[in-house]
Structure formats: C-alpha cells, structure tokens
Amino acid sequence: MAQRRIFLLSPASTGGKRAALLFNERAEFAVAQKVRSGPGAPIGEVFSFLSGLYFRGKLAYANAFQNPPARVGGIHVITPTDGLCSPDLMIRLADLERFATVPIEADEPRYRIPLDRDSRALATAIGSKCAVVLLGSVATGKYVDALLPVFGPRLVFPREFVGRGDMARGGMLLQRAASGEEFSYLPVSDPGRLGLGQRKRARVKMRAPKREPELAAHPPARR
C-alpha cells in the first residue's frame, strides 16, 4: 500500500505590492474582484496570486502527490491567525487584513494557539503512520517550533529544498508536479535540513568570542 501523505503549505505574505493590488478599488482582474465581493476567493488562489511561482508550485505539487487517509484533507494551508485551513476556503479582504496584523512567529499567541489546536486535531485524525510534508521554510522556528512537537518524526520536508531559494523551489515544485517524479524527504528533526552553509554560519556564530568594550584612544584626563 502506498505511503499515506498529507501536505502543510506555508502562507504567502499578505503585505507588499501584490497585496496592495488586491486592495486597490480600481483593480479589475479576477481575484481582486472576487475578494471584494460575494463569497470571496479560495485562499489557495489568493495566496498563489500573492506569492506567485512559489505558492503555485506548492499547491500543484501537493495536489499531485497527496495521499491522505479516509475523511482527511490532503492539503492544509497554514494561516497567520486561523490555524490550518483547506486551500478551498473562501476568504475576502477582511481576512487578508486580519492576516496582515499578526506576525508569523512561534512565540506569537495569535498565530500559535490556533495552529496548535488544528495541528493536534489533524495529528489525531491521520494516525501514526501518515507522513506530514511541510512545504515551507525549515531554516527558522516559525513553522518547525510549532509543528515538530505535534507531529514528531512524521514531519518531513523535501531534501531537494536544502540550500534553494523560494523562486528555485517554486520552479522545482511545478516541474515535479508535471513529471510525476516525487521529491525524496528528510525528517524536519534532521540537522541536514539547515544546509551546510547555514550550519557553518551557526557554528561560527556560536564560537565567536564576546568583544570587549573598546577603550577610547585618548581617555579624558583626570581632574
């Protein structure tokens, strides 16, 4: 039987120029009109617009290789304020405004509490043998610190992501989705996730001696 597998997709940034286009009342392109009226637009579509190649690649790859257990969604989008959601969830401008007010940091309760809640529920629903693939940054704690305690060794990420930037990852994801060739995966707990260059920089930073305060070249005369 094929390995059961679900995907967690990191969110697109809701700040910046592309987000500003959605808030422009004169914008006439489809996704801008959708988020301003009616039921809104699917969060997957909105984040694909905001992020461009990277999120579009994540969504295409996850759709190609998801294999969830019965009655469990195969793709879950991480949000800044609402925990995990389906890529089909309809959102509007008010939701984007709310997302933009909360930083994605592991110690930010407005982000962390909903994510912890939904992650625990998902971990119970998928059982102990389903892999959880994180398509997002593993070089910092903003996702890892929240997800690893819940999913443990089930939490993995693509080995080929190590040392790659977002644009390169987006292109790779789209290529693999089209070809049907899946990435290999590393446990998020593996130190190799940081990449050789990042591990070297971390070691150098840890070994760097504390600098003593510099003395003035010409100290003031005593009075």
Q: What are the pLDDT tens digits along the chain (223 aa)?
A: 689 999 999 999 998 888 999 988 888 899 999 998 889 999 999 999 999 899 999 999 999 999 999 999 999 999 999 999 999 999 999 999 999 999 999 999 999 999 999 999 999 999 999 999 999 999 889 999 999 999 999 999 999 998 888 889 999 999 999 999 999 999 998 766 665 444 444 443 434 444 444 444 444 443 3
Residues 126 and 132: beta-carbon distance below 8 Å: yes
Rounded Cα distance between 67 and 91, Å, is 26
Q: Where is 109: in which H helix or E strand? A: helix 109-126
Residue linked to tokens 């930010």? 108
